[in-house]
Chains A and B, each alone.
Chain A
Amino acid sequence: MQGKKNCQLVEVFKTEQGIVYQCNRQNMFCLEFSGVSSFFKITDFLDFIKKVNKIDIEAMASSTSPGSDIAILMPHYTERCFVLTMTDVLKLRELLSGAKFMLQLNSMIFQCLSNPVS
């Protein structure tokens, strides 16, 4: 896992539960969630967002079998194992979708800046 020392972290999005940074030096994303930070390559981060969005919250809520009220994500690209309660999932989604929106907005701004309307 990448050390923080080579990083040049810029905040992308922040909620009460966590922060998403991007590292402009290593072209990576850093997710700080419930006190732990994990680094992701660009593609992996986007994939991670997809995985979190795919968690079936309804199934978690309706199932009565033990352990079904938590979701476990262990993507091969991080060493971290995310053990998430339903609230965690919702909070993580909020953080990630906010971050994604900011990234897309940033992209759009770049596009506009390279083609200014004269």
Chain B
Amino acid sequence: MKDLLRLRTSLTEEIEALLNEQIKIEAYSSAVYLAMSSWCNRNGYDNSASYLEKQSYEEREHMMKIFRFVNDMGGRAVSPEITNIPQEFESFRGVFELALQQEIHVSSKINNIADRCFKAKDYMTFQFIQWFLKEQIEEEYVARRILELFDVIGEEGTGRWQIDKNIPKVTYGEEAGEE
């Protein structure tokens, strides 16, 4: 019997579902960063606002990368439904704590995809997902470093103003030469 399933796509149902789930997670990240950007903007943290807006844009790029991959492989990429975006945040620091938490969550999701690909012997997707593993190293690093600014500089006096000024300067070492 002709193998019609394989004719359509090399993605198994499980991997396709995982990738679609990841599309949704990236879209959610993008939306949350945008909400954070707005919060920072109305609370006077201008640099953070534009930094977070840029982050939001990057997350959308991540989403599109997976979206295109699924379609290119013959799968069915699903335009995600995103709900429950927090619009208010506890504090300036709270924004970045949440950002780090979100990045950690994304990392664990990407790790899981890599693991599932490996088990399903789907080395094409495994190869594709490598880029995201590398990206998460950077994302977690930056989020952690930013959070450290709050301790290093301190929030008293003009501290928050200083922190806001320094946030866009945080970059991952290897990246500087690359981009």
Interface residues of A (CB under 8 A from B): 10, 12, 22, 24, 27, 29, 42-43, 46-47, 103-104, 106-107, 110
Q: Which residue of chain B has its CB nearest to the CB of A29?
A: B4
Total contacts A-B at CB 8 Å: 31
At the interface, is chain B mostly helix, strand, loop or mixed? Answer: helix
A-B contact pairs, 22 of them (CB 8 A): A10-B1, A10-B2, A22-B4, A24-B1, A24-B2, A27-B2, A27-B4, A27-B7, A42-B4, A42-B5, A42-B8, A43-B8, A43-B76, A46-B13, A47-B76, A103-B5, A104-B5, A106-B1, A106-B3, A107-B3, A107-B5, A110-B6
Q: Is the CB of A107 within 8 A of B6?
A: yes
| C-alpha gap A98/B2 in the complex (Å) | 17
Q: In the bound complex, what is the Cα–Cα distance between A46 and B8 (angstroms)?
A: 11
Q: Which residues of B contact A (CB under 8 A)?
A: 1-8, 13, 76
CA distance A114 to B3 in the complex (A): 12
**Closest chain B CB from A45 CB (angstroms):** 9
Closest 10 CB pairs of A and B: A42-B8, A110-B3, A24-B2, A107-B5, A106-B1, A103-B5, A107-B3, A42-B4, A10-B1, A107-B6
Which residues in A have their C-beta under 8 angstroms from that of B7? 27, 42
User: Once the chains are docked, how many angstroms separate the CA of A118 from the CA of B168?
Assistant: 58
